Amino acid sequence: MIRILVLALVASCAVASPLKRQTKCASPTVRRSWHDWKDDEKKAYIEAEQCILKSPAKTNKMPGAKTRWDEFVSLHQIHALQIHSTGQFLPWHRYFLHVHEVLLAECGYKGAHPYWDEPRDAGKFPQSPVFDTKLGFGGTGSGTNACVSDGPFKNLTVNIGPGFTTQPRCVNRKITNALSSLTNKAAVDKAIAPATYEEAWITIYNGPHLGGHMALAMMNGDSITSPGDPLFMLHHGFVDKMWWDWQMKAPEKRFSEMGGPNAQDPATGFLEFPGGVEQESAMWGKPTAAMLAVTPDPRSGDPAGNVTLSHVMTSLGIIPDATVGDVMDPSGPYLCYTYQ
Ligand SMILES: *[C@@H]1O[C@H](CO)[C@@H](O)[C@H](O)[C@H]1NC(C)=O
Ligand SMILES: *[C@@H]1O[C@H](CO)[C@@H](O)[C@H](O)[C@H]1NC(C)=O
Ligand SMILES: [Cu+2]
């Protein structure tokens, strides 16, 4: 039933969406590491990001969102307690990057989504081309708020966060190179070693995913609104690639293997923090009534407490909803990309 509703929604939205839902993936786009991009490719991507940051909000559903970028960050804020430390972690962030692809397309961008092959720079993050001030994201922030003060994203305002608040603040980050080895090849190999999805989402989550977040402290390392920093998209491109690399070790099985809880266990909350949901809320507050009013049921589409392929993911109207099944194989008709 849900499936039929989703398909109907897709059909009705197909004309408005810049990326139409296809029935076949004939020529997948290729996601490459930022290291391997040509200058003009980097320039086109950065300009599209700047465009999203400056475009006015469109859906008017996200509390506190003033720009298109804010709406995107708000989507993550609203879902924060069901997409971290849960089985939804990998499929939801894969869908989230697809929402980002659509926003890039709205700004005229025609290239592929990037990722950052972090193992190449582990142990020497500050030297990475990712932090270039012209063809990158600028470096570590400066001043008391660690505002990014060089490069294409200096002096830009994000209205979503910190935590569950909506207060204007600068794009900020703080690089701690000593932590960057947490994303090295040995760490990645370990993260993608487990035999089952139920183990692998946890080793990816706790391993290089958290390691990169700690080494970069994007938006004050805020678990709720870190996508405010455009660099998040390169880091999560890398996280998505780790899932893909794990899947590609046994594609016939792993493009349909799903599991893990669909909501945080209130007693545990975020795996990376002590205490449960209630105690952790001291760090970032609680979702406001306006946020709760648009927060989907974490079980949507699942028969019980674990994530299944029929789990429905929503972007609250930015793009049509999709199921976890839709995003399992990136080179399938819904996403149509591959990694190099
Ligand atoms: C930074 O942004 C503020 C507010 O948008 C603006 O008034 C100011 O001129 C900008 N500063 C620089 C150096 O661009
Ligand atoms: C969720 O998955 C775990 C691990 O396989 C299992 O033990 C548990 O019974 C499942 N819970 C539900 C409600 O299906
Ligand atoms: Cu996230």
* Nearest Cα residue to atom 13 of ligand 2: 305
Q: Is residue 182 part of a domain?
A: yes
- Model confidence over 118-140: pLDDT tens digits? 999 999 999 999 999 999 999 99
Mean pLDDT of 171-192: 98
User: How many structural domains compose the chain?
Assistant: 1
Q: Is the dihedral of CA 339, 133, 212, 229 positive or negative?
A: negative
**pLDDT value at residue 11:** 38
Consecutive H or E run containing 158: strand 157-158
Ligand with the closest atom to the CA of 225: 3
Q: Is residue 16 part of a domain?
A: no
Q: Is residue 109 part of a domain?
A: yes
CB distance 29 to ligand 2 below 6 Å: no
CA proximity to 329, closest of 245, 244, 203: 244
- Model confidence over 272-285: pLDDT tens digits? 999 999 999 999 99
What is d(CA 134, CA 117) in angstroms, rounded to the nearest whole number?
Answer: 19
Q: Is residue 12 part of a domain?
A: no
Q: Is residue 20 part of a domain?
A: no
Helices (H), the chain: 2-13, 39-54, 68-83, 89-106, 185-191, 197-204, 210-216, 231-248, 251-254, 277-284, 289-294, 324-327
The residue to mutate among 201, 299, 306, 310, having the most atoms of ligand 2 within 8 angstroms of its beta carbon, is 306
pLDDT tier for residue 155 given thresholds of 50, 70 and 90: confident
What is d(CA 20, CA 14) in angstroms, rounded to the nearest whole number?
Answer: 6
Tell how far the Cα of 178 is from the centroid of ligand 1, in angstroms.
32
- Model confidence over 3-23: pLDDT tens digits? 444 443 443 333 334 456 678
Q: Is residue 13 part of a domain?
A: no
**pLDDT value at residue 16:** 37
Q: Quick check: 337 and 31 in contact, CB under 8 A?
A: yes
Tell how far the Cα of 263 is from the centroid of ligand 2, in angstroms.
12
β-pairing, 157-158 vs 169-170, is antiparallel
Q: Is residue 255 part of a domain?
A: yes
Q: Is residue 276 part of a domain?
A: yes
Which atom from ligand 2 is nearest to the alpha carbon of 306?
A: 1
CB distance 303 to ligand 2 below 6 Å: no
Tell me the CATH number at 41.
Answer: 1.10.1280.10
**pLDDT value at residue 99:** 98
Parent domain of 72? 30-339
